[in-house]
Each structure stands twice: as C-alpha cells, then as structure tokens.
Amino acid sequence: MRKQIAAANWKMNLSHHEADSLLDQLLATEYHLSSNQAVIFAVPAIYIPLAVQKLNGKPNIFIAAQNCHQKANGAYTGEIAASMFASVGVHHIILGHSERREYFAESDSELAEKTEAVLAIGSTPIFCCGEPLSIREAGTQNSFVEAQLKNALFQISADQIVKVVIAYEPIWAIGTGKTATSEQAQEIHAYIRSVFAAHYGQNIADQISILYGGSVKASNSKEIFSQPDVDGGLVGGASLIVTEFAAIINALKS
Ligand code: PGA
C-alpha cells in the first residue's frame, strides 16, 4: 500500500521562537496516523536541531530538508550535503521545488545528480515537478511534466525509484490561492503514474507516492486527497497555521 503523506514546506518562514511554538501546538493537537501515513516537516535548515529535538521518536513523523547539494563534500561555501542532513537525523530532502528551479536556476541535470546523491546515502528525495501557467493554458502540461521526470529521474534503477516521493505542484497554484480542481489533480497524477509505469512497469509505478501541492488547505484537502492517484500533499502556507495543518493531516486517506 502506498504511503499517504502530509508534508509541510515551511520555506523561508518563522523565527526560532515561532517555529518552536508551532511544533508544540501541532504536537498538542489531535491527529491520528495509521502505519501507512506519514507527516513530514521540511523546516529551514537552521531549525533542524530544534525539530529533531521535538519530533525524534514520534511514530510516522519525519523531518526534511528543503534542498541539498549534489556533492558529498568540498569547497561549496554555504551549501549542505545530503549526508550532513542524515548525520543529524534528517533522511528526507525536497528536491527541485519550483522556487529553486526559478530563483536558483536548478536544472534537470543538476536535479538528476541531487536525486542520485540523496538515494546513494539511503535517504528519500521528495522530487517536485509541475508546469507554469502558460503551459497549462496551452494544454501541454502532461508532456512538460513528463520531460521533467524523464530528464531527472529515468536513469535511476527500479529498486531505487520506489524510494522517491513525487510532488506534483502546478506553479500557477503555488501560494496563489488557486488550486487545481480535484479532477485536474487526478488527471495529471494518473498521467505521472502512467509515465513511471511505461518506464518501470505498473507494479513499480503503483508503489510511488505522488503528492499534490499548490494552495492545499483544510477546506480542499479531503476532496483532493480522496482522488485515487493523489497520495497526500506538499503544503506551504497552510502548514504554518496549526488548525489548518492538523486538518490536512486528518484528511489523508488511511
Ligand atoms: P502553497 O505552497 O501551499 O503555499 O501553495 C506549496 C509549495 O510550494 O510547496
């Protein structure tokens, strides 16, 4: 059974004090996680020790980094290697978020290297894909997303690809309040799964969790997550509000 995941992407938000209090409030709220559900907090790197201290040992709750460097070590001032995150207990890493592709010019080939680096140390990439508005308006979102997946992931072996979590995030829905309809989400998630099935086989494709991201909130999460090929969400803005994120966790399929 595929993992159902609610992943919080805090991006570059919150003071240390606010992060501390948000985690405390979330832990104090009522949520129930079954064995195939997980909650992931992608916090700013500097708050990882805080998150580890608060969340370590909590069943089905994990901490993620929002990016890493593709090299294992070396003269890359300001960067953090995947193995460094692993050494402090962080084994999930978001890769290729559209903000990193756009503002930091991350390319598919760089993302291929990052994905391999994360898998090589046994950690889990949360690989983001998704089209801008112009592509959606032209109706070519399927081939656009397919190219992102092929260029960055298809060199990976079948036994490794099942460890990758995919996050489909239409750029026009990120932080805009505009959400894809549940039908639009299902349509492209099914397409993404079919792309993996064509390359790796249906059995492998069926094991890959595909999260939806883009203005997920308490009020739309249940409907979006109920779609057969949507396995949870990557949540930005609403993950910073306790009641919102708690409701989103509770909207996961069991
Ligand atoms: P949003 O962000 O929920 O604020 O739209 C999602 C994301 O960028 O991961």
Whose alpha carbon is nearest atom 7 of ligand 1? 236
State yes or no: pLDDT of 182 exceeds 90.
yes
> Would the CB of 234 count as within 6 Å of ligand 1?
yes
Contact 64, 41 (CB under 8 A): yes
Residue 32 pLDDT: 83
Residue 79 pLDDT: 98
> Would the CB of 214 count as within 6 Å of ligand 1?
yes
> Would the CB of 112 count as within 6 Å of ligand 1?
no
Chain centre distance of CA 159: 20
Mutate to test the pocket of ligand 1, among 5, 9, 220 (most ligand atoms within 8 A of CB): 9
Residue 4: HSE in the Cβ half-sphere, 13 Å Cα cutoff: 23
Tell me which DSSP letter residue 139 carries: T
Residue labelled with tokens 């997920």: 216
> Would the CB of 213 count as within 6 Å of ligand 1?
yes
Q: Give me the number of domains the chain comprises.
A: 1
Active-site residues, by number, are: 97, 169
Q: How far apart are CA 77 and CA 131, in angstroms?
A: 31
**Averaged confidence pLDDT in the chain:** 97
At residue 104's C-alpha, the angle toward residues 103 and 105, to 5°, is: 100
- Tens-place pLDDT, residues 199-241: 999 999 999 999 999 999 999 999 999 999 999 999 999 999 9
State yes or no: pLDDT of 1 exceeds 90.
no
> Would the CB of 170 count as within 6 Å of ligand 1?
no
Between the alpha carbon of residue 194 and those of residues 159, 167, 210, 225, the distances in Å are: 17, 15, 12, 19
Residue 186: HSE in the Cβ half-sphere, 13 Å Cα cutoff: 9
pLDDT band (50, 70, 90) for residue 102? very high
Chain centre distance of CA 157: 20
Chain centre distance of CA 252: 15
Alpha carbon of 72 to ligand 1 centroid (Å): 29
Q: How far apart are CA 132 and CA 171, in angstroms?
A: 5
Alpha carbon of 41 to ligand 1 centroid (Å): 13
Contact 188, 212 (CB under 8 A): no
Residue labelled with tokens 């997946």: 149
Q: How far apart are CA 254 and CA 251, in angstroms?
A: 9
Q: Is the pTM of this model over 0.85?
A: yes
Residue labelled with tokens 């890359």: 76
Segment among 42-56, 71-85, 169-183, 218-232 with least mean pLDDT: 169-183
Buried b (16+ CB within 10 A) or exposed e, 218-232: bebbeebbebebbbb
Determine phi and psi for 168, rounding to 5 degrees: -90, 120
Q: What is the CATH number of the domain that holds 138?
A: 3.20.20.70
- Tens-place pLDDT, residues 109-156: 999 999 999 999 999 999 999 999 999 999 999 999 999 999 999 999
State which ligand 1 atom lies nearest to the alpha carbon of 173. 5
Domain region containing 140: 4-250
